[in-house]
Structure 1
Amino acid sequence: MSGSSTGRSPVRVIHNPTSGGGAWDGEALLRAALKDRKVEWIRTEHLGEARGAARDLREGLLVVAGGDGTVNEVVHGLGLAGFPERVTLALLPAGTGNDLARTLAVPINPEEAVDLMRAGRTRVLDAARVRSVDVGERFFVNVAVGGVGEKVSEAADDASFKGRWGELAYSRAFFEVARSFNAPDVRLVVDGEERRVRALNVAVGNCRYAGGGWPAAPRANPEDGLLDLVVVEETGLPGLIELGWKALAGADYLRGEGIFFARGRSIRVETVPPGGFGFNADGEIVGRGPVEFSVLPRALKVIVGPGYAPEPPEMALGRPGFARGLVGVGRRRP
């Protein structure tokens, strides 16, 4: 479903001035665009403020000027409030990675992003809930990564590392960490079906990108009522290099050697023995040890760009053959 939803409803702006190193210069444009609206402007200073500001909103336009970490906080806050159906989320990308904006085709340019907000073309996306013993319950809308991905997020979020490698930071960090990572045995349960793998990396995606443009779940459709599971199995350095080149070139690396792909409404990930690695969603630890993910269909109304397509365009021809549940791609293990 799409349409215009900004109307004359109240507006709450959550602005993280430190996102992207404080380089975002869209504030004047945004204030001018909202000059005739009733606006509450919240400038965050501490971790958790964005979550609280989103949690107590029940209706209106919620504008987030920040990076993926800020957006993640906001989505979690909306989830704690039950994802109020009268709230519409608008992104003004101001971070380094801006991964959710990539899936939603929201431009990085502040003027274009503000124009998109005013146009108000909306879609209703699924969201994801993750539960674990140590962290409890959290909500997200993008991608959660575990194993190498958890360690890579820590390395790639380092300011000096990002400055040196830019958009290649995640890919570079992936190879650095993966070479010495001890892949644990992992038990996967997708919609009741079980599988064992030795996993370097596990991604559970509602949307497609993580770590500044890495296609962690490249076939994910945020409106299909399913979560995508992408597992990079234990493989040698040549296999990792091949995977990396395919991913960065936009090729369908899910068909390559050492990749396991599945789709389902519920996904449980458990290392054997437990506690082998944790999961990170946009810089936030969402669980360690046994972690259970579930999809929340049609939970979140968001403003999207004209180039947004629920079905990834390059996957549109091949995807209908994939059924719900366990669908392996590449090397299969008994």
Structure 2
Amino acid sequence: MYKFVFLINPVSGGGQGKVIFQFLPEIMKSMDFADADWKAEFTRAADMEEQIRGALASTETLIAVGGDGTVSAVLSAMLSGDYAGQVKIGLIPLGTGNDLARVLNLYKPFVDRGLLFLVRRLLRAKARPFDIWKVNGKFAMANYFSGGIDARIAHDFNSDRANGVIASNSVIANKLHYVRRFFADRNYVLKRGTLGFCDRDGVCESIDVSGHRTVIVGNIPSFASGANPFYKSNMADGLLEVVDVPDMFKFLMAIAIGNIPVIGGIYKKYFLKSRKVRSLKLVMAGDEFLQLDGEDLSGKVGTEITIEYACQVQMLALED
């Protein structure tokens, strides 16, 4: 049994995963870990789910090195076994959005102080409870789910990247392309949709969201590279935050001022109306654009989407 297993996405962060793979032996040796205490391997697209399950069965702590999609794949694998209470999960952020790393206080230390600093702090970090949710009983949701303009942008971005339209793999280039996609897709609205949910008091409600800009469902207080449209989000309370955004003005305001103390809180509570719910159901058009933790989910879940509580895992996090 290894103390640590590093699963490294070799293409995340413009290929930074390969650099980290090269430096890990020196870092682990400097922390007095023997070779038998840990191992590192690149993720394999062909059998990634099986690879993750094998890693979970062989370690006390699994470190996902990549973006939100990499850690989401790890958490999805945890739903199908008894690993939630046995294996701690860590993250070295190499993606574009890195929303989960931001709320776990891992992103800024990595950017400001570098890999050596983060690994040394991370391997000694305490774990904190973290809710995991199930989308249609199959997909794990750690960060957020949405349908609408932001999902359309994510879909078009992933399509452009797959077709070679994006010339660079750098984080900056990716973010600039996201901005270009926003202006190209700025007129998009939900084709049709109904949002049904039950709040923490068991009161259920249904809302027509046809023609609205987006519906965002959040588990963490970070969305789309650090924006926060959620009111008093808590990632270990068994509740989701749901934001129905009817127009472009409210969408932009949520992104622009959501993180501003007091002003942002007032806006989200009284004007954006972020709701806390225990479960929800979305009924949308079959060709609606959807995203899960920043990854394109369009065409993969049908017209009815349910999101329910799955379990709680232990995530390594640095102190504020």
User: What TM-score comes out, normalization by structure 2 length?
Assistant: 0.78
Please give the alpha-carbon distance, in whole angstroms, between the structure 2 residues aligned to 1:204 and 1:47.
30
Corresponding residue of 2:237? 224
1:292-313 C-alpha deviation (Å, 9 max, x unpaired): 111235x211110111xxxxxx
Q: Is the 8 A contact 1:279 1:287 kept in 2?
A: no
| In 2, Cα distance between equivalents of 1:218 and 1:255 | 6
1:129 alignment partner in structure 2: 134
The amino acid of 1:125's aligned partner reads F
Residue 55 (1) aligns with residue 60 (2): no
Counterpart residue number, 1:280: 292
1:294 aligns with one of 294, 308, 315: 308
Instruction: Tell me if the contact between 1:203 and 1:217 (Cα under 8 Å) persists in the aligned partners.
Output: no
C-alpha distance 83-263 of structure 1, shift in aligned 2 (>3 A): farther
Structure 2: gaps (5+ residues): none
The 8 Å contact of residues 170 and 212 in structure 1, kept in 2 or not, is answered as no
Letter in 2 for 1:141: A
Superposed CA offset, 1:93-150 (max 9, x none): 122221110011113231222012221311121111111xxxx611121111222222
**1:120-269 map, 5 Å:** 120-131=125-136, 137-157=138-158, 158-159=160-161, 160=166, 167=175, 170=178, 173-174=181-182, 176-191=184-199, 193-198=204-209, 199-217=212-230, 219-233=232-246, 235=247, 237-247=248-258, 251-252=264-265, 253-255=267-269, 257=271, 259-269=272-282
- Following the alignment from structure 1 to structure 2, what is the Cα–Cα distance between the partners of residues 229 and 40? 39
How far is the alpha carbon of 1:164 from its aligned partner?
6.5
- Residue 17 of structure 1 aligns to a residue whose secondary structure is coil
Cα–Cα, structure 1 residues 245 and 120, in superposed 2: closer, same or farther, change >3 Å? closer
- Mapped partners of 2:302, 2:251: distance in 1: 25
Matched residues in 1 for 2:198 and 2:178: separation?
27
Structure 1 residues 240 and 85, CA gap change in structure 2 (3 angstroms): closer
Residue equivalent to 2:7: 14
Q: Percent identity?
A: 22
How far apart, CA to CA, are the structure 2 residues paired with 1:289 and 1:243? 27
Q: Give CA-to-partner distance per residue, 1:21-57, whole Å, 9 cap, x none.
A: 10344334432343414223221232551x3222232
CA gap 1:174/1:267 in 2 versus in 1, 3 angstroms: farther
Q: How many angstroms apart in 1 are the aligned matches of 2:6 and 2:274?
A: 38
Q: Shift of the alpha carbon at 1:170?
A: 4.8
User: Any stretches of 5+ residues in structure 1 without a counterpart?
Assistant: 1-7, 308-334
Is this contact kept in 1: 2:27–2:116, CA < 8 A?
A: no
Q: Which amino acid aligns with 1:10?
A: K
Cα distance in structure 1, aligned partners of 2:143 and 2:190: 26
SS of the residue corresponding to residue 274 of structure 2 reads strand
- Equivalent pairs counted in the alignment come to 290
For residue 190 of structure 1, give the secondary structure of its aligned residue in structure 2: strand
1:303-329 deviation line (CA, Å, top 9, x unaligned): 10111xxxxxxxxxxxxxxxxxxxxxx
| Alignment match, 1:31 | 25
Distance 2:281 2:196 in 1: 6
Whole-Å separation in 1 of the counterparts to 2:15 and 2:219:
28
- Which structure shows the bigger proportion of residues in helix conformation? 2
- Name the counterpart of 1:320: none
Conserved? CA contact 2:96–2:171, under 8 Å: no
- The one-letter code of the counterpart of 1:187 is L
Measure the CA separation in 2 of the matches of 1:120 and 1:244. 31
3-state SS in 2 of match to 1:189:
strand
SS of residue matched to 1:112: helix
Q: Distance in 2 between matches of 1:256 and 1:170?
A: 29
The reply to whether residue 44 of structure 1 matches residue 66 of structure 2 is no
Distance 1:142 1:238 in 2: 24
Q: Distance in 1 between matches of 2:143 and 2:188?
A: 27
SS in 2 for 1:179: coil
